[in-house]
Amino acid sequence: MKRIKQMLAVLLCAVALCGLAPAALAAQPLDESENGGKVIIYFETCGGTGIPVVERTSGDGKLYSLPTPTMEGYTFKGWYTDIVGGDAIVAGETEFSGEDATIYAQWDPIDQPVTEPTAPADSAEGIWERHKATILIVGGVLLLAAAGLVM
């Protein structure tokens, strides 16, 4: 029983460490002298998914790769310094220094195919489309009946 309690205590400590480690990393001071020039970058996907929320730059203050989020109905345009407009963030070129920064995903809507409008139900075209089969059958029966009467 004592052995089980010890194993549970070790397991609980490991879970606590795994759960608190990301928060501790994000809470580290951002002074360049204390972090070797590394800066924390927060990614605001503006509706996109599938990427990490935070990344740390290399010692020279640059991100050498940028994640690509996805969002249904949109094409990812890139990372920018502002939600609308702003400067483009270029992997390996844009330098962040001093304090943490947030960069924003910008999106372009995917063009949706335009469908032809259907004829309104109360127009001649709408009536013809809805009742085409019935009109042809009734018209044919009437023609046959008229032909039988004429003969």
Q: Tell me: the pLDDT tens digits for 85-127?
A: 999 999 999 999 888 999 999 999 998 777 776 656 667 777 7
Judged by DSSP in three states, 118 sits in coil
Terminal Cα distance for the chain, rounded? 107
Place of tokens 């309690």: 5
CB within 8 A of 65, min separation 6: which ones?
Answer: 91
Instruction: Say if 136 falls within a structural domain.
Output: no
Instruction: Say if 51 falls within a structural domain.
Output: yes
Give the span between the Cα atoms of 14 and 25, in whole angstroms: 17
- Per the CB < 8 A criterion, the answer to whether 48 and 105 are in contact is yes
Per the structure, how many domains does the chain have? 1
- Per the CB < 8 A criterion, the answer to whether 125 and 116 are in contact is no
Give the span between the Cα atoms of 69 and 55, in whole angstroms: 14
Place of tokens 């390996």: 92
pLDDT, tens digit, for every residue of 55-88? 999 889 999 999 999 999 999 999 999 999 999 9
Instruction: Say if 5 falls within a structural domain.
Output: no
Instruction: Say if 39 falls within a structural domain.
Output: yes
pTM comes to 0.53
CATH number at residue 41: 2.60.40.4270
